[in-house]
Amino acid sequence: MTSSLQQEIFNWVQTLPPWQQDLARRLATSDQLTAEEIEEVVGLILDDAPAAGRPCPLEMADLPSEEGAAAPVRLRALGDVQNINRLAPGQRLRFAPGLNVIYGDTGAGKSGLTRLLRHSCRSVKPGKVLPNVFGSAAGDGKQTARIFAKAGEENVELELDLDEHPPRLLSSISVFDAACARVYVSEDNQIDFVPRPLVLFDRMVRAQVAITARLRERSDALAGPVPDLDGFSPETEAGQLVANLSAAGTAERATALAVLSERERAELQRLSEMEAGLSSQHSVALEAAARRGALALQAAHAALEEALQAVGDDVIAQARTIRKSREETIAAQRGLVREALADAPVPGTGEGSWKLLWEAAKSFAASAGQAFPDVADDARCGLCQQELGEQARRRFIAFEQFVCSDLEGRLTHLRGCAASLLQQAPEPPALDARVQASLAGIDDDEVATVTRAALSAYASRWAALTAWLSEEQPNQRIEEPLQPPPDLKVISGALEVQAKLAASHAELRDERKRRELLGRLAGLRDRARLAGCLDVVLERVEQLRRREQIAIAMRQLDSQSISVTQRKLGMRGITGDLRAALANELSRLTPYSLRVTVAGSVRKGQIVVRVKLDATHSADGVAQVLSDGEQRVLSMAFFLAELAVSTNRSAIVLDDPVTSLDQARREYVAQRLVGESRERQVIVFTNDLAFLRLLQSRARSEGVSCHGQTLLRAGEEVGIVNGELEPELLDRHRPELHSVPDIAARRGSQLDAVTPGIRELEPQL
């Protein structure tokens, strides 16, 4: 069966997600995960590869089999109790392998010791252990005890503190008393004794509970304070996104919304500037103001553009050419004068008055039909009428060449060109005043900056132009290279914005259009606001994504599928075997059939079973139908049936197991416990002398050692340990023992009465 069970469990594990297969592998050889392993599994679940690595699947060899089960645990001693019921401190019970019987009258402390073991070992009703409620310091101080055990071949000493969880080693020891008996017939009983391969299910459920708790801690840490994202309109796309942040697609959408194009930014600025009109009825006045602003910008732009063109690079180049040509013409003119008039005897020859005289002579000669100057051999002077000598003729020829030269005309033309260029370029103060007057009502930093740059560039260029064209200061120093004029697109853009504002304000007289513009402004403004807090939004979205990932993982950690498989395999093996074992025990314990059956289920990874009536006309439970004796028979049968199907061979402890049973059933229980002592340690607490005799008789007949001790009471103290079972004391009732003040003296007299036939406890204990 074990091989088949292992195969079925292995096949089931192969259907699980990789992280859960890795978890099954870890728990196949370990009872529980360490904190580090929990973090590793959490990393696998959340696909946090750098922290978790890759999942490692389960192998068939990893699954535990029935062979190599845990070593059985038995008790060697129990004592040194402090503040537990009225048990006397400083006492110690010692136990041998096999059958142990502890006898004591009513109130001698048997139940107190059983409650201590029921609390610390495996029991269907662990219960609470009280201090001495009748003592003067009731409830004060720690409740402690000491247990000496043996696990396989290893001796173990355990310090019990009832405020803490009992040592896990003791959980393999089973305890049965009256409180447990009631549970077997009226409540669910959690089965701890399961085939070893099935422990994987319980371990996985417990581990997944721990993993879920760790994931919940991570989720809570990610929750944190919600970032302050106020100010968004609930009607805009960005506002709705912020109000409904989620893990699905929000990051991509938020990033896209937070990016405004250049056109959208300009539109936001335009709509922001006209916001007053959007929210009021002053659209007419605002439209007029926008149109005035547009006209002012237009005038300033035109003045600057015209002025900058008048001092542009091509104009400066023309000025350089004019200056060069003018200088060349003047130089040529001066050369000609030097050549033609160098020997003129009269000062001022060739100058203005002389030129007038020369032109008058020409006119006089022309009126007489003669040429002037006439340089023929017989020619006479037109003014003095004297014949011309050779020298005079040469001078007349030089004068004519001087007068007929075009240099003067060229010089005049160049001066006109220079005057024209200067006329087109206004003086910088005049331009500055004109532009500033146009922009007096415009509050735009960018426009002001570009305007200042344009006026500065114009002034430097105008100075260079006038320097190139000046005749009065021909040696004036000219700054090169010239300052480049700025781009006037900013002013053009502002002009366009004002024009659109004017048009938009005009549109505001249409209510539908006004609402559309208000909505558009709110949308653009929220998108700009989203851009400012995008990092916060994306961080929050990532937190939500991680929390959603954790929530999905926590849903995967639901133990339902584990419970279903555990129920299928466990019910088939455990409850089936348990049902047969219970039927067998009942058939031995009662001469008639108790119509009951075993029902099983799985809760939180644990198999729980319950005895149910096999009746058709009663909805009442076992405890409401069966007598006290039948209930005790049934609970004892259930306890013995658990032992029959369990592979665990650790000790069992029973307190007054035959209460309410008749003689025949007592004999069977004695036989059953003696037989069980061959396989495990059996410890029986009883105040029933007849049952004690049955145990002794059965042990002798079967060759089983029966090791006994007696518990006594002295005044208010109980649990005084006598190391032997004393036949003479057991054969009669001796109430005087309860009032003997000298316990040591009494114990000595008791030991003197011990018959040699009673075995001593083994020296190794």
Residue 292's pLDDT band (boundaries 50, 70, 90)? low
Q: Is the pLDDT of residue 105 over 70?
A: yes
Q: Is the pLDDT of residue 335 over 80?
A: no
β-pairing, 92-94 with 73-82?
Answer: antiparallel
Lowest mean pLDDT among 185-189, 266-270, 379-383, 572-576: 572-576
Residue 760's pLDDT band (boundaries 50, 70, 90)? very low
Once rounded to an integer, what is the mean pLDDT over residues 326-354?
71
Q: Is the pLDDT of residue 604 over 60?
A: no
β-pairing, 606-613 with 189-190?
Answer: antiparallel
Question: Could you state, in order of their start, the residue ranges of all structural domains in the chain?
Answer: 83-173+652-765, 284-317+414-495
Query: What pTM did the predictor assign?
Result: 0.49
Cα(386)–Cα(382) distance, integer angstroms: 8
Higher pLDDT, 451 or 622: 451
Model pLDDT for residues 447-480, shown as the tens digit of each residue: 788 888 888 888 888 888 888 888 766 566 666 6
Residue 694's pLDDT band (boundaries 50, 70, 90)? very high
Higher pLDDT, 234 or 372: 234
Q: Is the pLDDT of residue 311 over 70?
A: yes
Query: In 3-state terms, what secondary structure has residue 319?
Result: helix
- Which long-range CB contacts under 8 A does 502-506 form with residues at least 24 apart? 502/287, 502/290, 502/291, 502/294, 504/270, 504/271, 504/274, 504/277, 505/274, 505/277, 505/283, 505/284, 505/286, 505/287, 505/290, 506/283, 506/287
Q: Is the pLDDT of residue 741 over 60?
A: no
Lowest mean pLDDT among 5-9, 76-80, 257-261: 5-9
Helix (H) or strand (E) holding 151: strand 144-151
Sheet containing 174-176: which strands, arranged edge to edge? 174-176, 652-655, 682-686, 99-104, 706-714, 717-722
Residue 647: the pLDDT is: 74
Residue 682: the pLDDT is: 96
Residue 330's pLDDT band (boundaries 50, 70, 90)? confident
Q: Is the pLDDT of residue 735 over 60?
A: no
Residue 691: the pLDDT is: 92
Once rounded to an integer, what is the mean pLDDT over residues 57-71?
68
Higher pLDDT, 77 or 375: 77
Q: Which CATH class is domain 83-173+652-765?
A: alpha beta
**Which of 744, 719, 745 has its CA nearest to residue 104?**
719
Residue 716: the pLDDT is: 81
Cα(657)–Cα(649) distance, integer angstroms: 19
Model pLDDT for residues 521-555, shown as the tens digit of each residue: 899 999 998 888 888 888 888 888 888 888 888 88
β-pairing, 717-722 with 706-714?
Answer: antiparallel
Residue 752's pLDDT band (boundaries 50, 70, 90)? very low
β-pairing, 99-104 with 706-714?
Answer: parallel
Higher pLDDT, 508 or 483: 483
Q: Is the pLDDT of residue 749 over 60?
A: no
Percent of the chain whose predicted confidence (pLDDT) is above 70: 75
Residue 97's pLDDT band (boundaries 50, 70, 90)? very high
Residue 745: the pLDDT is: 43
Residue 194's pLDDT band (boundaries 50, 70, 90)? low
Cα(180)–Cα(747) distance, integer angstroms: 34
Higher pLDDT, 475 or 395: 395
**Which of 195, 126, 136 has its CA nearest to residue 166?**
126
Q: Is the pLDDT of residue 765 over 60?
A: no
Q: Is the pLDDT of residue 503 over 80?
A: no
Listed in sequence order, the DSSP H helices in 571-688 are 576-589, 622-625, 628-645, 663-676
Q: Is the dihedral of CA 216, 218, 224, 230 positive or negative?
A: negative
Centre a 10 Å sphere on the Cβ of residue 259 and count the other Cβ atoms it contains: 11
Please give the mean pLDDT across all residues of the chain. 78
Residue 761: the pLDDT is: 40
Residue 291's pLDDT band (boundaries 50, 70, 90)? low
Residue 156 CB burial class (10 angstroms; 0-12, 13-18, ≥19):
middle
Residue 182: the pLDDT is: 80
Residue 505: the pLDDT is: 61
Residue 625: the pLDDT is: 76
